[in-house]
Amino acid sequence: MRLHEYQAKQVFADAGVPTPASQLAETVDEAVDAAEEIGYPVAIKAQVHVGGRGKAGGIKLVENTEEAREAAEDIIGMDLKGYHVSTVLVEEAVDFVNELYVGVTMDRGEGEPVAMVSTKGGVNIEEVAEEDPDAIAREHIDPAFGMHPFQARKVVYEAGVDRDVANDVASVLTTLYQLWDDRDGSDVEVNPLMITSDDEVVAADAVMNIDDDALFRQPELSEMAEEASEGDELEQKADEYGFDYVRLSGNVGIIGNGAGLVMTTLDLVDYYGGEPANFLDVGGGAKAQRIANALDMVFSDDNVDSVVFNIFGGITRGDEVAQGINQALEQFDEIPKPVTVRLAGTNAEEGMEILNEELVTVEHTLEDAVQRAVEYAKEVEA
Amino acid sequence: MSVLVDEDTRVVVQGITGGEGKFHTEQMLEYGTNVVAGAVPGRGGQEVAGVPVYDTVQQAAREEDANASVVFVPPAFAADACFEALDADGLDLVVAITEGVPTQDMSRVYRKLQETDTHLVGPNCPGVITPGVAKLGILPGNIFSSGNVGLVSRSGTLTYQVVDNLTQRGIGQTTAIGIGGDPIIGTDFVDALELFEADPDTHAVAMCGEIGGEDEEEAARFIGEHMDTPVVGFIAGRTAPPGKRMGHAGAIVSGSGTGTAESKINALENNGVPVGDTPEEVADHVEDLL
């Protein structure tokens, strides 16, 4: 779960990382008032989870009231790479001489956290990592001990940070690691960390991604993250139902159990010439109501022309699944979209007997079910 | 023969008094697994499905001569349960079924693991099965059959699918290992492949990977350099868009082109591993190699 910039900045500021003066605004008037109060120049920044906001017109630097109004009018309500901008952060523009990147993330290959510093801040750090990996100094941290102070200094000097600000940068890094550790971060970053002509360090942006699996022990962040949740209506509905769901651009709706099997079903739809409309994993042990909810979700996607169910029961029982499918379909006078079902594994035979074959098409193998669903989708399109 | 699990495997179930723990203990017993003890703090002296329960894993291991454990403990306590199992004397296999364990917790368990000789499988995995002998976990026993193909997979239900394709055409398995789809896991592909390579009864291996991370690429290099036993691959997530997490915490394609299905398939094929486009094709390739 990713926090918005303004939320992450609040968390960082509370922990002692220097941040510029800023205010959140939801209307143009609020934005202008905030700018007057902070004093020009200010940056007006769209609060959406999109990388490269500046290039996409989501961040503007303004010098006076007129410019502030114009920028706020442009940004509030705009569509930024598919995300609707409803709030902006109005922030003191920092006069800087240098920009750094400072961050902590999980190195999954090594199974331990890594602290990183680069003097190539202010740009897309993923590109730097790819094109010039040596420009990022790295230090792995033993998660049992945490980060020793010398490790913070080591990586800061290794990166070639100016001696005059090295201690302050090391202190920011130490704080980021503590936040990462205490708050179950997956990525905690400042990019850019600006260095002013007075050798002050200021966090001009803030990234905080929290491990979804740890939200149960981070109630405060969990609440913030809920506020920060974004996505279209269907993705929000999936959150409510508790499904792993990703909307895609095709027209074959896909419901299955288990991430690997659902991904495989998507791939097979593509392999047989169709286009998947979504990834929907009902998870393990889904009962009838959950199956009905899944069908409701996929039916409410207007792009879907045909639906395929692929269930391989382990914990999940085929008879429960079949009941859920019947239950969801029996409420329609006419089935809105053709449904193809493939059941295997635990209680699959019982499930096949229960399934109302007037409502669905039953197939016995994964390959047959996917091909049938793709055919149906093509018939609808034709 | 088999890897990790055989007729001498004696199992402690951690969390045996919980709903999942109890149900799957019964299933494991029914399959023939030697479940010799349960471990739940405060429940020592009780019995579940005829199995004696102890307060600690150490007591269970000592009293019942156990050498393996299966963890059915809720996510908040799962890492502690793994630490307890790794600390107990005599356990050389720990299988963690729990889904949703915080990654930082696993990072600490992973570090502890480096100091021991114990194999940890999981978390967020279906478990390990040696067909006809024993299963540790939640895999549906009836789809497996005994034979000479090893199977290792990051996804539970995909394991079932591929095993079904194999069993349907009469190809049995030595052992199937579900390693789990989380970013940090105990036993990875390379560890599993190493075990299969050393097992004279495993004549081919089916390896099911997915998008995210670089474990499959590493496995491909290992196969190229160290394996004589032929391997067949499958990679799920070819159609996944970058930046979106597909269910498994590990299944996310990074924006910069690493961890993609394409890079994994290329790595495998460049090391002589045929990769099936469908689970059925995986079975075709395995059949050709045997």
CA–CA separation, A141 and A147 (whole Å):
6
Closest CA to A275 of A242, A234, A306, A318: A306
As a residue count, chain A comes to 382
Contact B155 A261 (CB under 8 A): yes
Interface of B with A in 8-67 (CB under 8 A): none
Residue B194: enclosing H or E segment and its boundaries? helix B189-198
Residue A96: enclosing H or E segment and its boundaries? strand A96-107
What would the pLDDT profile of B259-281 be if each residue is shown by its tens digit? 899 999 999 999 999 999 999 99
Which residue in the set B76, B104, B161 is minimally distant from A366, CB to CB? Answer: B161
The structure tokens listed for B83 are 């630490």
CA–CA separation, A331 and A325 (whole Å):
11
Contact A111 B111 (CB under 8 A): yes
Q: Does residue B1 register a pLDDT over 80?
A: no
Q: Would you place residue A214 in the very low, low, confident or very high pLDDT band (cuts 50, 70, 90)?
A: very high
What would the pLDDT profile of A161-179 be if each residue is shown by its tens digit? 999 999 999 999 999 999 9
> Higher model confidence: residue B255 or residue A8?
A8
What pLDDT score was predicted for residue B256? 64
Query: Distance from A210 to chain B by nearest Cα, in Å?
Result: 10
Beta bridge partners of B11: B35, B68
Backbone CA torsion sign across B217, A105, B154, B236? negative
What pLDDT score was predicted for residue B255? 65
What pLDDT score was predicted for residue A316? 84
Q: Annotated catalytic, B285? A: no
Query: Distance from B139 to chain A by nearest Cα, in Å?
Result: 6
The structure tokens listed for B80 are 């502690």
Least confident piece of the model among A5-19, A125-139, A245-259, A337-351 = A125-139
What pLDDT score was predicted for residue A186? 94
The ipTM estimated for the assembled molecules is 0.93
Please give the residue of chain A at the shortest CA–CA distance from B214. A109
Closest CA to A35 of A90, A78, A114, A89: A90
Beta carbons of A323 and A343 less than 8 angstroms apart: no
CB within 8 Å of A369: residues ≥ 6 apart: A308, A309, A310, A340, A341, A342, A363
Residue matched to tokens 């023939």: B32
What would the pLDDT profile of B164-204 be if each residue is shown by its tens digit? 999 999 999 999 999 999 999 999 999 999 999 999 999 99
CA quadruple B253, B255, B260, B263: dihedral, nearest 10: -160
Contact B140 A264 (CB under 8 A): no
> Higher model confidence: residue A84 or residue B103?
B103
Q: Tell me the average pLDDT across A277-295.
A: 90
The structure tokens listed for B195 are 């075990």
Q: Does residue B128 register a pLDDT over 80?
A: yes
Q: How far out from the chain centre does Cα A336 lie?
A: 31
Distances (CA, A) of B225 to B193, B216, B228, B229, B270: 12, 14, 9, 12, 12
Give the burial class of A146: count Cβ atoms within 10 A of its Cβ; 0-12 exposed, 13-18 middle, 19 or more buried.
middle
Q: Does residue A117 register a pLDDT over 90?
A: yes
Which residue in the set A144, A271, A314 is minimally distant from B140, CB to CB? Answer: A314
